[in-house]
Amino acid sequence: MSSEYSRRRRTLLAATGAVAATTLLPNLSRAQAPIVVKFSHVVAENTPKGQGALKFKELAEKKLPGKVQVQVFPSSQLFGDAKEMEALLLGDVQLIAPSLSKFDRYTKKLQVFDLPFLFDDIEAVDRFQATPTGQSLLTTMKNRGLIGLAYWHNGMKQLSTNKDKLVRPDDVKGLKFRIQASDVLEAQFRALNANPQKMAFSEVYQALQTGVVDGQENTWSNIFSQKFFEVQKTIAETNHGIIDYMVVANAKWWDGLAPDVKKGLSEAMKEATDFANKMAEELNQADRKKIADANKAKIQKLSKDDIAAWRKAMEPVWKKFEGDIGRDLIDAALKSNK
Ligand code: LMR
């Protein structure tokens, strides 16, 4: 455990001392103390995930009054993405919603979501996730102590750099890119002859600002809410991949919940999922417009030929990961495109 995490862990325990104290009270009062559900995530509140988490809190507390208290910690307040799974497994928090790119160490199956140019749009992602195959992926990490409760959408990824020209794959040759902790994304940037660097989300702005990296890939809502557009020159509208999430719980904790609590939380999760997924695309497009209006980074539109060149350059990634992911799974995902 890193010292940074230990320090934050101590702060977290101190901050929640009141809750810990209630567990020491006699049985009678203990029965009445609400179950505290800590939901930690790394993005800002004005994003699809940020809004989904707040909606879940509202619904869960309404459905289970006095029984459940949901505490949402946005913007890596407790810890960053590198530590959130560890914290969940330790029981320090009960819910997290990492991007599907961040589960590499727990399952290779979810790598399917990172294959470049696999999904035409977020609706295709939604259709695939709703299939029995998509749903079965929610439980693939149960033997590792993680259970998926829902998929939440963010949106399509765009590519940005601190250079004026960003039209063809050659334009990123030799550039340094921040990536999420994903081997597929690492291979994707290597295929472009660029230099990928895995980095926690909370460190990206500064890394871009100081030139530690030249570029990054993300959705409009993350590029806007993290102000990446203020420290990048060009954002190319590549739509080359997706950022989507799995809301996961500590499986032991989830299985140990009283049936009525589990039912209430499941219902709240379902409704919060519908809410967040409906607003995701709208929010991303609104943030795209805000970025365009700010006139800081140029938004580079790409022609069909340009897109075809990016697709071709990234193609080797599919072959590299086909064995780990499984051809059947890739084909099942492909079927969701119209
Ligand atoms: C990233 O690390 O870029 C994203 O996964 C952050 C997020 O949770 O949307």
Across the 338 residues of the chain, what is the mean pLDDT of every consecutive 10-residue run? Answer: 52 44 45 91 98 98 98 96 94 98 96 98 98 98 97 98 98 98 98 98 98 98 98 98 98 97 98 98 98 98 98 98 97 97
Query: Does the beta carbon of 180 sit less than 6 angstroms from any atom of ligand 1?
Result: yes
Does ligand 1 have an atom closer than 6 angstroms to the CB of 273?
Answer: no
Contact 191, 317 (CB under 8 A): yes
| Residue 180 alpha carbon, nearest atom of ligand 1 | 2
pLDDT of residue 176: 98
What pLDDT was estimated at residue 11? Answer: 53
Q: Is the CB of 99 under 6 A from ligand 1?
A: yes
Strands (E), 234-303: 234-236, 242-250, 298-300
Find the 33 Cα to ligand 1 centroid distance in Å. Answer: 34
- Is the Cβ atom of 40 under 6 angstroms away from ligand 1? no
Cα separation, 83 vs 80, whole angstroms: 6
Nearest CA to 141 among 113, 115, 184, 108?
Answer: 108
Q: Are 176 and 127 in contact (CB under 8 A)?
A: no
Closest residue CA from atom 2 of ligand 1: 201
Task: Find the 301 Cα to ligand 1 centroid distance in Å.
Answer: 23
The residue with tokens 């033997």 is: 143
Q: Which of 237, 278, 282 is nearest to 52 (CA)?
A: 278
pLDDT at position 20 is: 42
The DSSP secondary-structure symbol of 158 reads E
Ligand 1 mean position to 305 CA, how many Å?
Answer: 29
Residue from 107, 221, 94 nearest 155 by CA: 221
Distance CA 244, CA 43 (A): 13
Tokens 């993290």 belong to 226
Q: What residue has token string 């459940």?
A: 68
Secondary structure class of 196 (helix, strand, coil): strand
Pick the atom of ligand 1 nearest to 98's CA.
8
So what's the pLDDT on residue 7? 56
Would you state the structure tokens that stand for residue 86, as one six-digit string? Answer: 């560890």
Given a contact cutoff of 8 angstroms between Cβ atoms, the answer to whether 7 and 64 are in contact is: no
Which DSSP letter does residue 129 get? Answer: H
- Angle between the 183-191 and 304-314 helix axes, to the nearest 10 degrees? 120
For ligand 1, is residue 162 a contact (CB within 6 Å)? Answer: no
